[in-house]
Amino acid sequence: MSLGPAGASLNPDQAENFEDMEKQFAVKAVQHMTTYWAILEKMKGSQLRLTKMDDEIYEHFKTDFPEFDPTETIDEDKMKSKEGKERWRNFMMTYEKKIDDYNFGTMLRSNPKYEYGEKETIFAMRMQFYAIEILRNRQGLNDWIYEQAHA
């Protein structure tokens, strides 16, 4: 579906049903979330590669966000503030032509200690998900999911 060139005004009479688009997005986001959780139950996160570029994403994230502590709850307000959005936009644009669906919305656990849940899940872009989950996996913070599934 095309809504026209970027920045063009949207004619609601020519737009498709946005409610259907939102439902399709929600289905895809939930599928991504449940698939990722199922993978973490079958394989330790510390042994998992999410993309072919995990090493580059990991190093880039550590360089651009040195203050990020993957053991702590994500401050969603800070992440989505004007400054936070700008920092993330600059980070993500590096992967525009390298990672499919780099800017597609997805669900992200706000803290690696908890399962996905209404209060523990935030909406994020795919590259935010990759950067944060690669860091968590490298530090073994998601290994408890595998261990719990095999206890």
Q: How does pLDDT run across 108-144, given as a tens digit for each residue?
A: 999 999 999 989 999 999 999 999 999 999 999 999 9
- CA-based radius of gyration for the chain: 17
Q: What share of the chain is helix, strand, coil (3-state, %, to 5)?
A: 50, 5, 45
pLDDT bucket at 7, cuts 50 / 70 / 90: very low
Residue 1 pLDDT > 90: no
Q: What's the pLDDT band for 13 if we cut at 50, 70, 90? A: low
Q: Is the pTM of this model over 0.75?
A: yes
pLDDT above 70 for 9: no
Q: To which H or E segment does residue 109 belong? A: strand 105-109
Euclidean distance between CA atoms 32 and 36, whole angstroms: 6
What single DSSP character describes residue 45? G
Terminus-to-terminus CA distance in the chain, angstroms? 46
Residue 18 scores a pLDDT above 80: no
Q: How far is CA 67 from CA 74, 120, 141, in A?
A: 12, 21, 17
Question: Where does the pLDDT of residue 12 fall: very low under 50, low under 70, confident under 90, or very high at 90 and above?
Answer: low
Q: Residue 109: which of 97, 124, 99, 122 has the closest Cα?
A: 122
Average pLDDT score over residue span 38-63:
97
Mean pLDDT value of segment 46-71 = 97
Where is average pLDDT lowest: 17-21, 23-27, 104-108? 17-21
The pLDDT confidence band at residue 10, using thresholds 50, 70 and 90, is very low
Q: Is 36 exposed, middle or buried (0-12, 13-18, 19+ CB in 10 A)?
A: buried
Nearest to 138 by CA among 72, 48, 51, 56: 48
| Mean pLDDT confidence for 16-24 | 67
